[in-house]
Structure 1
Amino acid sequence: MKKVLLSLLMQVPVLVFAQFSLKGEFTTAIQNKKLYFIYIQNNAEVIDSVVINNGKFSFSLDLKEPSVAVLLLQHQGNALKDQGPKDVYRLFIEPGNATLVAKDSIAQAQLNGLAIFKQDMAYKTALKTSESKLIALNKEFATLTPEKQAKAEIIENFQERYEGLLDERKAQVIGFIKDNPQSYISLFAFNQDLGVDNMDYTQAEALFNGLDDKLKNYAIANIIKQKLDIAKVTGIGAIATDFEEKTPEGIPLKLSSYKGQYVLLDFWASWCGPCRKENPFVVSAYEKYKDKGFTILGVSIDTDRNAWQKAIKTDNLMWAQLIDSTTEISKTYGIDAIPKNFLIDPHGKIIAKNLRGTALEDKLKEIFEKK
């Protein structure tokens, strides 16, 4: 019997937990205020709380791996539900003993005791320049009169500057990750800032492979791996995966039949409000560039074929349309929300994604003006 029990136990994966403890003190001797501690465990949000007694409090919990967390001080009312400004301190936690000192606001707290606190400070320092510029840019735009804020040339100027600063910030994130391949914060930053829908797959894969192997066992790493798997198929520079489906007339149509042209693979549905609002922009781009080597292939996730065909006529979508009846196309292209589109070059390579509003026309103008 003992041998059978031992055999069964050996088949069960063992989760190793270690303790994280936080002891804090408010120098103003805050009394009877509630302090919430919110963190992620097993991909789920956990909310704990204590009542501050004579300015002192403590939290203790078992951690399977490092996590991101929030301390929220309730000054009055219900801090979790009430709207308006909140007294919040965001932090990273890992197994070990930590201490906190604050005056009367948790947002101004000072933390000590864990290596991850120093890594977090280094990360904030690495991004300080670009984030300061982004804040200044927002303030500059806010000082403009409503008339100036509405002018297209001013909006375009600010958009270009904004995107330039985002590129600068991204470079700083990448630099931090390369310099700190063993830090959980590098893994978190990768997921937040680089593990995005329009990621550069080749760059992202190399950066992820350079991380410490221990990090790749964490929950966020599994999320990143899934994103990389999708990006390998749908990322910028990837060759668009071929598929075949029937048109409303029952004619089989393959994506690969469009090779030699620039084609927009456009995912939408008749019931999708944002999709229908995008359609006039797509129609405009089609009309301007259909005779220059550009076309569109629409893929709908509708289940009501009558509503789908009615929407095609109503929105004047004069290009080939397919309905993803088996959802296989959507799965292949990682469609978790619509509208979503992919611009594919004449060689079948994805060169842009999610071109919304006038962005599609701007991209086509850039392509065809170079010719």
Structure 2
Amino acid sequence: MKKILLGLLLQVPVLAFAQFSLKGEFSAASQNKKLYFIHIQNNAEVIDSAVVNNGKFSFNLDLKEPSVAVLLLQHEGNALKDKGPKDVYRFFIEPGNATLTAKDSIAQAKVNGLTIFKEDVAYKTATQASESKLIALNKEFAALAPEKKAKQETIESFQGRYLNLLEERKAQIINFIKANPQSYISLYAFNQDLGIDDMEYSQAESLFSGLQDKVKKYALAAVIKQKLDIAKVTGIGAMATDFEEKTPEGIPLKLSSYKGQYVLLDFWASWCGPCRKENPFVVSAYEKYKDKGFTILGVSIDTDRNAWQKAIKTDNLMWAQLIDSTTEISKIYGIDAIPKNFLIDPSGKIVAKNLRGGALEDKLKEIFDKK
């Protein structure tokens, strides 16, 4: 059985192939159950299936390069369509012969036979310390009494600790990539876990350049290269690209007209729930720092001008607003989701991105309160 399944794996082009073989063994309790193997083939996500007979199964497929795969064990009903918990094992694959062993749960499977399996273990080991601390922090916060969770000082304390742990994890990922330039795991971690969008371009570009040539030929590398091309223009440290659009009153307005002050370039829309939830934080920051050299330029991707103008009034957005009617501004700044913002300094340089919640006010406090 083969079936296209969109959204479970990253789509990448597949052109020339080598063989990948997976032989598996289950306990007796798992016999005669259906197993689905979700992988990439001919530039599409595909599902192969097999039945576990006499405790064994096998899959064989053509594979151009390393990728991600998912095994899904059907215990009852339809594992692909039924809602609720699923017995899933997600792992990396590459051309070669692999073996898998499991008892009653595919989620607890063990794989052997390929170098990429060892590299995956090494990556998890490299990031285990920070991952464990993040889990512990979440449990600590969840265990607090409701009244303590609601206190601003508690929230700020946990936010600070959380951000510090993310930085610790980021450093661990960077160290792994530098130490393993030959590994697809490094490429995957670069794309999925590192947060290219929030890195300084020079650091991200240098890290990518350090990967071995064979790794930079993989299809996923092309995805990263596109992100780096955008980061070169919109990354921290880059000079913000100028643009011009008319205000609702028909007055031409350029981003460069804000040079000499800190400006938050804020992309949003009236229909965007997360954007509307962010607006009170943005309003608060504006009120506190508007007289110290800070302002905001809103860029909406709305198509309904009435809804847009109503949202501006409802949310009390008392700064200049533009509609990106041609989507040219969004293309320049690589906007593929909102809310998204860029903090630009008086010289026109991007100094921070995606400042959500209290992070915007924290950054402005760092800038203005030390002057």
Q: TM-score of the superposition, structure 1-length normalised?
A: 0.91
Instruction: Give the superposition deviation at 1:209.
Output: 0.7
Instruction: Give the superposition deviation at 1:244.
Output: 1.2
Instruction: Give the superposition deviation at 1:205.
Output: 0.5
SS at match of 1:347: coil
2:184 is aligned to 184
Q: Percent identity?
A: 86
SS at match of 2:311: helix
Taking the TM superposition and a 5 Å limit, the aligned residue runs for 1:1-371 are 15-28=15-28, 30-41=30-41, 44-371=44-371
CA distance 1:239–1:14, shift in 2 (3 Å): closer
Structure 1, residues 211-267: CA drift from partner, whole Å, max 9, x if none? Answer: 111122222111111111111111111110011112222222111111110001111
2:231 maps to amino acid: A
CA distance 1:273–1:118, shift in 2 (3 Å): closer
CA distance 1:59–1:323, shift in 2 (3 Å): same
Show structure 2 runs of 5+ residues with no match: 1-12
Aligned equivalents of 2:113, 2:14: Cα separation in 1? 28
**Mean Cα deviation higher: 22-31 or 209-218:** 22-31
Aligned equivalents of 2:263, 2:53: Cα separation in 1? 65
Structure 1, residues 276-306: CA drift from partner, whole Å, max 9, x if none? Answer: 3322322222222111101111112223334
Aligned equivalents of 1:277, 1:165: Cα separation in 2? 25
Aligned equivalents of 1:306, 1:63: Cα separation in 2? 52
Aligned equivalents of 1:29, 1:250: Cα separation in 2? 71
Contact 2:14 2:64 in 1 (8 A): no
Aligned equivalents of 1:98, 1:14: Cα separation in 2? 20
Q: TM-score of the superposition, structure 2-length normalised?
A: 0.91
**Mean Cα deviation higher: 72-81 or 214-223:** 72-81
Aligned equivalents of 1:203, 1:68: Cα separation in 2? 26
SS at match of 1:197: helix
2:5 is aligned to none
- Runs of 4+ off more than 6 Å: none
Q: Give the number of equivalent residue pairs.
A: 359
1:102 maps to amino acid: A
Aligned equivalents of 1:298, 1:123: Cα separation in 2? 40
Structure 1, residues 304-356: CA drift from partner, whole Å, max 9, x if none? Answer: 33433343333332222222222111100011122221111111111111222
SS at match of 2:231: helix
Aligned equivalents of 1:14, 1:23: Cα separation in 2? 23
Instruction: Give the superposition deviation at 1:42.
Output: 5.1
2:4 is aligned to none
Aligned equivalents of 2:14, 2:199: Cα separation in 1? 35
Q: CA RMSD in A?
A: 2.0
1:6 is aligned to none
Structure 1, residues 183-204: CA drift from partner, whole Å, max 9, x if none? Answer: 1111101000124432221111
Aligned equivalents of 2:29, 2:340: Cα separation in 1? 53
Structure 1, residues 96-129: CA drift from partner, whole Å, max 9, x if none? Answer: 1111122222222221111111111111111122
Aligned equivalents of 2:42, 2:287: Cα separation in 1? 50
Show structure 1 runs of 5+ residues with no match: 1-12
Aligned equivalents of 1:107, 1:310: Cα separation in 2? 49
CA distance 1:81–1:332, shift in 2 (3 Å): same
**Mean Cα deviation higher: 170-179 or 105-114:** 105-114
Aligned equivalents of 1:246, 1:14: Cα separation in 2? 44
Aligned equivalents of 1:358, 1:186: Cα separation in 2? 32
Contact 1:35 1:73 in 2 (8 A): yes
Aligned equivalents of 2:313, 2:210: Cα separation in 1? 51
Contact 2:14 2:41 in 1 (8 A): no
Aligned equivalents of 1:144, 1:276: Cα separation in 2? 28
SS at match of 1:136: helix
Instruction: Give the superposition deviation at 1:43.
Output: 5.1
1:351 maps to amino acid: V
Contact 2:264 2:343 in 1 (8 A): yes
